[in-house]
Amino acid sequence: MGSPNTKKGGQILRKGTTIIGVLLIIISTLFLIQTNSFPPPTTKTLGPTFWPRIVLTVTIVLSVLMIAYQWMIPEIKLQNGNITRAVLGMVCLILFLVLCNFLGYFITALIFLVSILLIMGEKNWKILIMYPICFLLFIYLVFYLTLDVELPLGKLIGLM
C-alpha cells in the first residue's frame, strides 16, 4: 500500500488537473466570444476567425475530456520526479528559442525533439528518427505549405 503522502499527492494532482481544465474552458470561451469582433470572412477566404475558433473549440472539448477522464480513472499515485530531466528539458527549450532564428525552425525543432525524447529515456532508434520526422513533415505540409505560415528558415540558409 502507498504511504499517506502518495494518496494526498494523487488527490492534489486530480484537483489541480480539474482546476486547470476549468480555467482552460473559461479562458477559451472568453476568447471564443472575442472572435465575434473579428472582421467577417470574404467569399474567397475563410477569414481571421476560422483558425482561432477551431483551436479554441478543440481546447474546450479536450479540457472537458481531461476533467472527465480525471474523475473516471483510479487515483494516480505520484512518484518522486527526476529534477535533472526537468532542468534538461528547460535547457533544451531555451536553446530551441535561441537557435531557432539562426538554424531555422525545422533544423532546430528536429534537434529539440530528438533531445527531448532522449531526455525522457527513449532508446528505440526508430522512434527517435520517425516521430520527429513525421511531426516536422506534418508542420511543413499543414502550416508552411497549406496555411502559408511563415516559419524562421534561419540565417544559416542565407549563408549558403
- Whether the pLDDT of residue 153 is over 80: the answer is yes
Q: How far is CA 19 from its chain centroid?
A: 19
Average pLDDT of 94-115? 93
Q: What is the DSSP letter of 160?
A: -
Helices of type H across the chain: 4-34, 50-72, 83-103, 105-119, 125-139, 155-159
Q: What is the DSSP letter of 82?
A: -
Whose cell is 524562421? That residue is: 152
CA distance 100 to 118: 20
- Whether the pLDDT of residue 96 is over 90: the answer is yes
Amino acid in the structure at residue 142: V
Residue ranges per structural domain of the chain: 4-72, 83-159
CA distance 65 to 21: 9
Work out the percent of the chain whose per-residue pLDDT is above 90. Answer: 50
| DSSP three-state, residue 41 | coil
pLDDT in tens, 1-56: 444 444 555 566 778 888 999 999 999 999 999 988 888 877 777 778 888 899 99
Residue 76: per-residue pLDDT: 59
Cβ atoms 102, 154 nearer than 8 A? yes
pLDDT in tens, 117-126: 999 999 999 9
